[in-house]
């Protein structure tokens, strides 16, 4: 059942920036055409996937859905060869564009917070090769190239004005920022206030982490007021870029969300908090809010995730970020119980994941 809450908030044309992450690490997920039906009924028109699944691309053709696709981490090394990069675009992008509204390519995921320095060194050259291949095929002005980065890449994140990148990756980050500045692509960040609260529940206010606007923190340097942690995290990234000499690069949130279930030691992971976080996020998106540092720039956000995915490894929370169960029922009560429409998702399910979310 499609929850009245989502229909109410997403049916307004003012929610122009809200997107959702459509992961596929499950053995019971609905088919892509059923997923598109669900997204369309919710008026969600921006989606990020973690591969270039041809079933999804084919199903999303001639829809109003803007799609960000992903090149998996293990593919980066071979894409250093310009001919291999061109062949990748010819195979995975060109046959579907423009019928599929591909607007971005995420090259890898959270590479700067891994331990593979070779992969870090190869990231920007691979991005450049993909960008040049897009240009060679006349697609460069339509599709941006970037990479989602974990907030853990920051050495300092509070107060936001103290935002700085970790020294051991700053040279890689500088090269990355040069690429973004030159190509006018956004900096994508995976930002989860949940993780900060889970690790420091005695220090961090739950209201602040849940975007409740009941706690206000003032940055002592800028005197800007922050009523939620997500905006503080985004502004910390902006200050971190400025410290490396880069201003004007847009920051977008590639992932954020709150788990509805967790292990005993995963403090705060429950359905009540998940409902509050996502409800507050939707309300702020409805208002087209920017951060305190950039109040006039609407913050683009992709919520994680559309479905609970039963094959994701790790703690229980990893399998419980979804708004929906695979059968199309809401994963938890968002606060209103009226249902105004229904979409059956259980009639056709994919068998096994086509990719791993990195």
Q: Where are the domains of the chain?
A: 18-324
What CATH fold (topology level) applies to the domain 18-324? TIM Barrel (3.20.20)
User: What are the tens digits of pLDDT across the range 165-201?
Assistant: 999 999 999 999 999 999 999 999 999 999 999 999 9
Instruction: Pull the structure tokens for residue 56.
Output: 């999804």
Alpha-carbon Rg for the chain, nearest whole angstrom, is: 20
With a pLDDT cut of 90, the percent of the chain lying above it is 84
For residue 7, what pLDDT band results from cuts at 50, 70 and 90? low
pLDDT for 220 beyond 90 = yes
Report CA-CA distances (Å) from 329 to 28, 38, 118, 244, 316: 13, 11, 43, 46, 19
Q: Which residues of 33-67 are buried (b: 16+ CB within 10 A; e: fewer)?
A: ebbbbbbebbbbbbbbbbbbbeebbebbeebebbb
How many Å apart are CA 198 and CA 201, to the nearest integer?
Answer: 6
Residue 265 clears pLDDT 80, i.e. is over it: yes
Catalytically active residues are 110, 255
Cβ–Cβ under 8 Å, residues 23 and 326: no
Using one digit for the tens of pLDDT, what is the confidence trace for 222-235?
999 999 999 999 99
Q: How far apart are CA 42 and CA 12, in angstroms?
A: 10
Q: What percent of the chain has pLDDT over 70?
A: 88
Question: Average pLDDT of the chain?
Answer: 90
Q: What is the pLDDT of residue 16?
A: 56
Q: pLDDT per residue over 278-307, tens digit each?
A: 999 999 998 999 999 999 999 999 999 999
Cis status, amide bond into 202, omega within 30 of 0: no
pTM flag (> 0.95): no
Residue 338: pLDDT band (50, 70, 90) is very low
pLDDT at 312 over 60: yes
On the question of pLDDT at 356 being above 60, the answer is no
**pLDDT the model gives residue 42:** 85
Q: What is the mean pLDDT of residues 6-13?
A: 48
Whether the pLDDT of residue 335 is over 70: the answer is: no
Residue 9 has pLDDT above 70, yes or no: no
* Residue 334 predicted with pLDDT over 80: no
- Mean of pLDDT values over 61-68: 96
């Amino acid at each position: 059942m499609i929850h009245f809450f989502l229909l109410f908030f997403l049916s307004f044309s003012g929610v122009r920036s809200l997107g959702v992450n459509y992961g596929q690490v499950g053995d019971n997920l609905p088919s892509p055409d059923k997923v598109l039906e669900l997204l369309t009924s919710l008026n969600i028109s921006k989606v990020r996937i973690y591969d270039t699944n041809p079933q999804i691309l084919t199903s999303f053709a001639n829809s109003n859905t803007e799609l960000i696709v992903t090149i998996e981490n293990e593919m980066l090394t071979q894409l250093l060869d310009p001919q291999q990069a061109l062949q990748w675009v010819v195979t995975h992008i060109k046959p579907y564009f423009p019928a599929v509204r591909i607007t971005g390519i995420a090259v890898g995921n959270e590479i700067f917070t891994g331990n593979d320095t070779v992969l870090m060194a190869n990231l920007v050259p691979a991005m450049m090769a993909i960008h040049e291949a897009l240009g060679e095929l006349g697609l460069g002005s339509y599709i941006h190239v970037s990479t989602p980065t974990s907030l853990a890449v920051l050495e300092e994140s509070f107060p936001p004005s103290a935002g700085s990148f970790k020294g051991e990756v700053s040279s890689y980050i500088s090269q990355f920022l040069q690429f973004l500045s030159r190509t006018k692509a956004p900096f994508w960040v995976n930002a989860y206030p949940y993780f900060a609260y889970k690790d420091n529940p005695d220090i961090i206010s739950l209201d602040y982490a849940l975007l409740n606007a009941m706690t206000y923190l003032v940055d002592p340097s800028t005197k800007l007021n922050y009523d939620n942690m997500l905006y503080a995290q985004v502004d910390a990234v902006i200050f971190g870029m400025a410290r490396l000499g880069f201003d004007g690069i847009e920051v977008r949130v590639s992932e954020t969300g709150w788990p509805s279930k967790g292990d005993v030691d995963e403090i705060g992971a429950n359905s009540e908090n998940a409902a509050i976080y996502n409800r507050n996020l939707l309300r702020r998106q409805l208002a087209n809010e920017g951060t305190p540092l950039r109040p006039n720039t609407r913050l683009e956000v992709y919520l994680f995730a559309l479905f609970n995915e039963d094959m994701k490894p790790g703690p229980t929370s990893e399998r419980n970020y979804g708004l929906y169960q695979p059968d199309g029922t809401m994963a938890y009560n968002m606060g209103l119980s009226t249902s105004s429409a229904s979409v059956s998702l259980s009639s056709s399910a994919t068998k096994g994941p086509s990719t791993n979310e990195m």
